[in-house]
Amino acid sequence: MSLRKLPLLLAAALLFATVTVGIVRAQGGTVADFTVQKTGGGSASLSAYSGQKAVVVVFLNPACAFTRLYQERLSALNSAYSGRGVQFLFVNVPINLDSNEGGGGSLATFSDDNGAASAALGVSKTTEAVVLQPSGGGFAVRYRGAIDDNPQVASGVQQRYLQQVLDNVLAGKPAGVADKRAAGCLIKR
């Protein structure tokens, strides 16, 4: 083998390893417990929700236009699934935009100022969702990514990724889609 082909082979191997790790993380990785701060005081740990059928962690920031565009859709999903054993955690995270806005609009939020929750779940953007299912004393990742296929126009949505995953998980089926790239604002690390 010539030395000229070695960098190309190394690059291909690195790309393959990166894709493989991403697929494994999205489809069946487990998540260590983390704690988020309640807006207004107190805290909540992921382990406190081990009795739920699923936990949906959604990362938000009111300064991000995508968060504002998803407010009504997220509120509707929360209402539709909260009585079915699904716990939604709306987590306000710092983003790479300057803003003095606080809170999460009409959604009750937690905060992840130190980035522990977003790092543990491997998310990088708002508004990104992660569906977790209690499994063997921890939580298995069933989905990570976009809420649907149209972050800008609710009436233009054709694929409701988060809703489809929740329906499948609640029916005892595989999640279906494991991840979809989310559009949004970058989380500040």
pLDDT at 48: 93
User: What CATH code would you report for 6-186?
Assistant: 3.40.30.10
pLDDT at 4: 64
pLDDT at 98: 62
Contacts of 138 (CB under 8 A, 6+ apart): 30, 31, 32, 33
pLDDT at 77: 97
d(CA 131, CA 57): 7
Closest CA to 94 of 67, 69, 76, 121: 67
Sign of the C-alpha dihedral computed for residues 111, 115, 119 and 122 taken in this order: positive
pLDDT at 107: 75
Phi first, then psi, for residue 11 (nearest 5°) are -65, -40
pLDDT 10s per residue in the chain (189 long)?
A: 555 655 554 444 444 433 333 333 444 588 988 999 987 788 889 999 999 999 999 999 999 999 999 999 999 999 999 999 999 999 999 997 765 454 445 677 899 888 889 999 999 999 999 999 998 888 999 999 999 999 999 999 999 999 999 999 999 999 888 889 998 999 987
pLDDT at 29: 83
pLDDT at 16: 42
Domain ranges of the chain: 6-186
pLDDT at 96: 76
